[in-house]
Structure 1
Amino acid sequence: MAVPLHRSVHLGWLGRSGPLIDADQQSKHSEGQPGLFQAALSGLCPRCGKPTLFEAPASVAITCEACGLDFTKLERGARLAGLVTILIAALLIGAAIGVDIAINPPFWLQALFWGPFTIAATIGTLRFYKTALLYRQYDIQIEQKAQGE
């Protein structure tokens, strides 16, 4: 018995012909919004743009205090935050070892530099990761509501 062989295999978005993002189909709610980096740095709500996304340096708030958007209905990034932290730690350990081998600075200078840099890099990366994930979930929610109407 012969099995038919298909020559064109489409694997979700990977097998799609054409651009992944069509400029004509972008969400209207994202027009005039700041970029993802600025949103993560300032902690901007995806709906109203007010700086209410984070209640602590890397902890997403429950709701937006300005517009009332419930962030608990969206993926807030807690599941993979540990993995992101481990990846950042591995990169920073590699960088610290590389600096130690190449330059060999005194221990006090390394401690003075790598301590604050590690904290800033971890918090910054977690904020960016959580903001990107939350914004994407919000976009999906908006698209689903638009298709349902």
Structure 2
Amino acid sequence: MTMNLTAKDAILKHGLKCRCPRCGKGRLFNGFLTLAPRCESCGLDYSFADPADGPAFFIMIIMGIPAAGFGVWVEIMWEPSVWVHLLTSGPFLLLTCIPPIRIAKGMLVASQYFHKAEEGRFAVPRQVAEKGPPSPGPVGPRR
């Protein structure tokens, strides 16, 4: 167990290694981005984790700017034909955007675990929960 780590340190340590946020030993993924159902080491159920499109969004925003800047730089410096961009800018864009998604997803799942994030729920007013819905009041025209 990683009881002596702060939440921030544990998120970085386990998220970067794509390991279980509780024990740090089990794998977080079954494949490249498919979240495993549970930890193979400690049995933590990963159903609490729902990173959705967050990792892809962060990576596109952070890495998309330098990747697009590289393509613009190549165009301004040498004015090559389109096939040169397909051989240089395309692979650069893929290499800067695809591999970091796994790490970002691992860190987001670890963050959800340590901060006990869960799906939002509507709060039910106490009056409705105890007595039922309030009465609509008197019926008839107002004066």
**TM bracket (short chain):** 0.5 to 0.7
Aligned residues: 113
| Larger RCO, structures 1/2 (Cα 8 Å, 6+ apart) | 2
Any stretches of 5+ residues in structure 2 without a counterpart?
Answer: 117-143
Superimposed CA distance per residue, residues 71-125 of structure 1 (whole angstroms, 9 cap, x where no aligned partner)? 11133x1143453354257422233112321344665554334344333322333
| Equivalent residue in structure 2 for 1:134, among 91, 109, 113 | 109
The aligned residue for residue 102 of structure 1 is 77
| Equivalent residue in structure 2 for 1:53, among 28, 32, 35 | 28
TM-score by length of 2: 0.57
The aligned residue for residue 65 of structure 1 is 40
Q: How does 1:30-49 map to 2 (within 5 A)?
A: 30=5, 36=12, 39-49=14-24
The aligned residue for residue 84 of structure 1 is 58
Superimposed CA distance per residue, residues 115-143 of structure 1 (whole angstroms, 9 cap, x where no aligned partner)? 443333223332232222211211123xx
Contact 1:41 1:124 in 2 (8 A): no
From the superposition, tell whether residues 83 and 103 of structure 1 become closer, same or farther in structure 2 (CA, over 3 Å). same
From the superposition, tell whether residues 90 and 35 of structure 1 become closer, same or farther in structure 2 (CA, over 3 Å). closer
1:80 maps to a residue whose letter is G
From the superposition, tell whether residues 118 and 62 of structure 1 become closer, same or farther in structure 2 (CA, over 3 Å). farther
TM-score by length of 1: 0.55
Q: Kindly report the root-mean-square deviation, in angstroms, between the aligned alpha carbons of the 2 structures.
A: 3.4
Partner-residue secondary structure (3-state), 1:62: coil
Q: How does 1:5-44 map to 2 (within 5 A)?
A: 28-30=3-5, 36=12, 39-44=14-19
